Amino acid sequence: MATPLTSLIIDDEPLARQELQYLLEAAGDVTVLAQGTNGIEAVDLIRTHKPDVIFLDVRMPGLDGFAVLKKVLALDRKFHLPEVVFATAFDQYAVKAFEVNAVDYLLKPFDAKRVVKTLEKVRARIAASAAGNGETASGHAAPGDLGADAAAKLDALLRMVEEQAAQASGPSSGSAHNLSKSGKVVVRAQSRLLLADQKDVCFAAIEDGRISVVTKTVEGDSNCRTLEELMDQLDPEQFWRAHRSFVVNIQHIREVVPWFKSSYQLRMDDRKQTEIPVSRSQTKRLRELFNL
């Protein structure tokens, strides 16, 4: 009889969640404690349920799978990470799963036999942990034994993901830093992951925790959790934080519009000619940019 497992499924695609739950239940002795639809939910569910294994989507809006694990560790360095199985449609990310101590990865669409093999690996990993020197009364490795090492691996993997997106723009032209600054921006639109040239991005905005990215032809979501995180990927010579909720590409400002009480708005050259406020703290920077 197989060792019973408790699990979480985190994926922003409803059909993927349903299919994986069906395959896990069909495999037997796996209890799905809860499902999550995004990275923010994932952090809370992992800390609340403390499952044996998490089936975690790699690419989700707001907070991707790698960043979820980093966030969990950041909140509590002594938290024992459950076993992790990454689920993804993109094998360039999946092949790096083991660098963050993942047991395995599942490529979409899921295969029943592959799921069974993955569960075997999970059980073997838990058994090996229980037999090791770090065993606790619960049978899991001692809390904190993965903390610093896993965090370092997550940092490395997050850099790798950014560099891969940048490399899609063309041949390598220098350091990883230069690649990330001159590369692409990932835009999720209509269930597709599009790579937009930075020069084509008109602006990005955050509202209710969702970051939208707008070009002249495409509007979609960023996988970044904050505008600061997005800014780290952008060329600082071209992109400006005009307001706490907006980052603009100065090359796509069509008009500077004087507003009330010596304030300004920017009219962008996207299809909607979006008007973006300039915060009072950025008025001086605006005047410097355009010699106002």
Mean pLDDT for 216-229 is 86
Q: Does position 5 have pLDDT exceeding 90, yes or no? A: yes
Per CATH, the number for 176-290 is 2.40.50.1020
Taking all residues of the chain, what is their mean pLDDT, rounded to a whole number?
79
In CATH terms, 5-163 corresponds, of 1.10.8.100, 3.30.360.10, 3.40.50.2300, 3.30.230.10, to: 3.40.50.2300
Give the confidence band of 139 by pLDDT, cuts at 50, 70, 90.
Answer: very low
For the stretch 87-110, pLDDT in tens is 877 665 555 555 566 788 888 888
Q: How far apart are the first and last CA of the chain?
A: 76
Name the packing angle between helices 65-75 and 147-167 (round to 10°).
150
What order do you get walking across the sheet with 253-258 strand by strand? 253-258, 264-268, 275-277
> What digits encode the pLDDT tens for the residues 8-49?
999 988 888 999 999 999 999 999 999 999 888 899 999 999
| The most confident of 67-71, 94-98, 99-103, 218-222, by mean pLDDT | 218-222
Whether residue 76 is predicted with pLDDT greater than 80 in this model: the reply is no
CB atoms within 10 A of CB 51: 20
Domain regions of the chain by residue span? 5-163, 176-290
**What gap in Å lies between CA 59 and CA 182, rounded to an integer?**
22
